[in-house]
Amino acid sequence: MDLKELESLIRLFDSLSLSELALKQGDFELNLKKEKQRTQDLGMIPAMVRESTNNTAEPSTDDNQTSGHIVKAPMVGVFYEAPSPKSPPFIKIGDQIAKGQVLCIIEAMKMINEVVSPVSGVVKEIFIANGELVEYDTPLIEIEVTGV
Amino acid sequence: MKTKDKVLRALLNHREEELSGQTMADHLGVSRNAVWAAVKTLQKEGVPIRALPNKGYRLPTTYDPLQASYFKKTLVESAPLWVYPTVDSTNDQLKNLARAGALHGSAVLADHQSAGKGRMGRSFYSPALTGLYVSVLLKPDPSFQVGLNTTLKAAVLAARCLEKYGAPPIGVKWVNDLYTSHGKVAGILTEATINMENGMVDTVVVGVGINLLPPAGGFPEDIASHAAALFSPDHYQPIKNPLAQDLVEAYRELLTEDQDHALLSEYRERSVVLGKEVLATMGDRKIVGTVKAIRDDGALVLERADGQLENLMSAEVSLRGDFGFGSNR
């Protein structure tokens, strides 16, 4: 096995969810081991966004008592603002939205995930463009909360 | 039950030979005239009953509609099954029912979709009667972590069910397309809702659309080059109801951990892209590479020409030179 093959093998091993790999080729022996799971398992949806119900608004100079709630990506995937390219977006800035309303879609591995609003309020900001890939916990949408 | 429905059921259950009007009349306890009138009404509604003079009536084997009465009690008692001759989209219908509080395991089945749905609003061609469309609602236990690989697992379960009913060997093209050597025969669409109060998956609707037979007049032009039917009309035996029942049963257990490993290994075995050179399209970006692996979470590991590996979470993948089926399944 030459260096290039070895390098590509190690990279492959690293990308897989394997914890150990042993290889024997003639008198060549290789053992690869991975430290316990990476900090975040990409493959699971239910995220630890529990704290997101807390008020994440930055200390603002706003005088009014409304608070901004940041909806963060519950998983990695592609952000979609509408159910299909021909449909109008689920929400736009300034829209009044109700708790339980669909805000956007995140798609990964052809699983379409509707992100449902945890609060009622007004859409203040949409941080992501349609079709963009988002990482877990990326801020997606800010909602000025008027009710929970 | 109306005479019309009784006549239809008698004909569905007796396809080997013609049933005479007199036999049906005697059996159903109605007049021969009533049977004749029922047959006429059914024919007018589009049921292809063939009448042979002096012999009687018979349905072709390719007439294979879903029958609500077929499904076994235990299946229907645990959660409701809605059976439609036609519905806009079984996934959409079930999502509406889910919002109204439908139970885990509820299912919507249809012979035809008037607005069949593919990924991101693409239409999924759904011809009358020659297809089968099944969607099942899953409400995962809060302690269960729903994986992004759910669609992959659903594809394997569909492939197994189809092969059980005599379909040719089925391959899967990442992520959600089922192929035979003739072309794409089925597709999966999984839709989930994520409750952002706790970041958990509230509901999952898993839907499968299957081309059982070639539609009358063939597939529409835009998909004719890669769509295919599982069975030829010449050799078709009615399987739709038992097949639908098996799919509902299999999907109700989709979100259980103990079968993950087996399903993912089988997904790799059935993969038509593993080890192959593919073109992956992500929005405006296109990359060519060799598929090195499919990870447990469902991501596709692609090796680019420069040796770099990329993990794809979302892409359209096509094989070089054909529409998805390699020679070694």
CATH number (domain holding residue B85): 3.30.930.10
Placement of tokens 């909602």 in the chain = A143
Q: What is the pLDDT of residues A8-56, one digit of tens each?
A: 888 788 777 677 788 888 888 888 887 654 434 556 655 433 333 334 4
Return the number of other C-beta atoms located less than 10 Å from residue B196's C-beta: 25
What local confidence, expressed as pLDDT, does residue B81 receive?
96
Which of B191, B273, B314, B317 to mutate against chain A (most A CBs within 10 Å)? B314
Task: Let me know if residue B298 belongs to a domain.
Answer: yes
With a CB cutoff of 8 Å and minimum separation 6, the contacts of A96 are A121, A122
What local confidence, expressed as pLDDT, does residue A65 receive?
52
Residue A73 to residue B184: CA distance in whole angstroms: 33
| Same domain for B145 and B228 | yes
| Same domain for B207 and B90 | yes
| Same domain for B257 and B149 | yes
Ramachandran region, residue B98 (left: φ > 0; alpha: ψ -120 to 50; beta: rest):
alpha
Residue B154 to residue B138: CA distance in whole angstroms: 12
Q: What does B165-224 look like in DSSP terms, one character per residue?
A: TTPPP-EEETTTEEEETTEEEEEEEEEEEEETTTTEEEEEEEEEEEE-SPPTT-S-HHHH
| Same domain for B282 and B257 | no
| Same domain for B201 and B253 | yes
What local confidence, expressed as pLDDT, does residue B128 receive?
60
Helices of type H across chain B: 3-12, 21-28, 32-44, 73-78, 90-99, 150-164, 221-224, 240-252, 260-270
| Same domain for B297 and B179 | no
Q: Which amino acid is at B323?
A: F
B280 touches chain A (CB under 8 A): no
Q: What is the mean pLDDT of residues B285-312?
A: 94
Contact A116 B194 (CB under 8 A): yes
What tokens appear for B3 in the block? 């005479």
Q: Smallest Cβ distance to A116: which of B188, B196, B295?
A: B196
Q: How far is B216 from chain A (nearest CA, A)?
A: 29
pLDDT at B202 over 50: yes
Task: Let me know if residue B324 belongs to a domain.
Answer: no
Least confident residue range of A48-57, B144-153, B155-164, B287-296: A48-57
Q: What is the mean pLDDT of residues B209-238?
A: 88
Give the number of A-B residue pairs with CB atoms closer than 8 Å. 153
Residue with the bigger pLDDT between B224 and B233: it is B233
Q: How many residues does chain A have?
A: 148
- Strand-pairing partners, residue B206, are B136, B190
Q: How far is B247 from chain A (nearest CA, A)?
A: 19
Cβ-Cβ contacts under 8 Å, A17 against chain B: 295-297
The terminus-to-terminus CA distance of chain B in angstroms comes to: 48
Structural domain for B10, as ranges = 3-58
A148 touches chain B (CB under 8 A): no
Task: Let me know if residue B30 belongs to a domain.
Answer: yes
The total domain count for chain B is: 3
| Same domain for B116 and B19 | no
- Strand-pairing partners, residue B64, are none
| Same domain for B258 and B212 | yes
Task: Let me know if residue B327 belongs to a domain.
Answer: no
CB B309 within 8 A of CB A12: yes
| Opening angle at CA B135, ends B134 and B137, nearest 5 | 150
| Same domain for B294 and B203 | no
Q: What is the pLDDT of residues A80-90, one digit of tens each?
A: 999 988 899 99
Contact B150 A111 (CB under 8 A): yes
What local confidence, expressed as pLDDT, does residue B299 receive?
95
| Same domain for B304 and B164 | no
Residue B291 to residue B277: CA distance in whole angstroms: 6
Placement of tokens 């409750």 in the chain = B195
Q: What residues of chain A, 60 to 79, have a C-beta less than 8 Å from chain B?
A: 71, 74-78
Task: Let me know if residue B200 belongs to a domain.
Answer: yes
User: Which residue in B193, B187, B190, B197 sits closest to B98, CA to CA?
Assistant: B193
pTM: 0.84
- Strand-pairing partners, residue B302, are B291, B310
CATH number (domain holding residue B302): 2.30.30.100
Q: Which residue of B has its CA nearest to A88?
A: B121
Cβ-Cβ contacts under 8 Å, A108 against chain B: 148, 298, 313-314
CATH number (domain holding residue B35): 1.10.10.10
What value of ipTM does the predicted structure carry? 0.85
Task: Let me know if residue B325 belongs to a domain.
Answer: no
| Same domain for B206 and B140 | yes
B202 touches chain A (CB under 8 A): yes
DSSP code of residue A88: P
Q: Which residue of A has its CA nearest to B193?
A: A114
| Same domain for B184 and B231 | yes
Q: What is the pLDDT of residues B86-109, one digit of tens each?
A: 899 999 999 999 999 999 999 999
pLDDT band at B283 (very low <50, low <70, confident <90, very high): confident
Q: What is the pLDDT of residues B221-230, one digit of tens each?
A: 778 788 999 9
A111 touches chain B (CB under 8 A): yes
B100 touches chain A (CB under 8 A): no
Q: What residues of chain B, 103 to 142, have a C-beta less than 8 Å from chain A?
A: 119-122
What local confidence, expressed as pLDDT, does residue A63 receive?
45
What local confidence, expressed as pLDDT, does residue B327 receive?
38
What local confidence, expressed as pLDDT, does residue A140 receive?
97
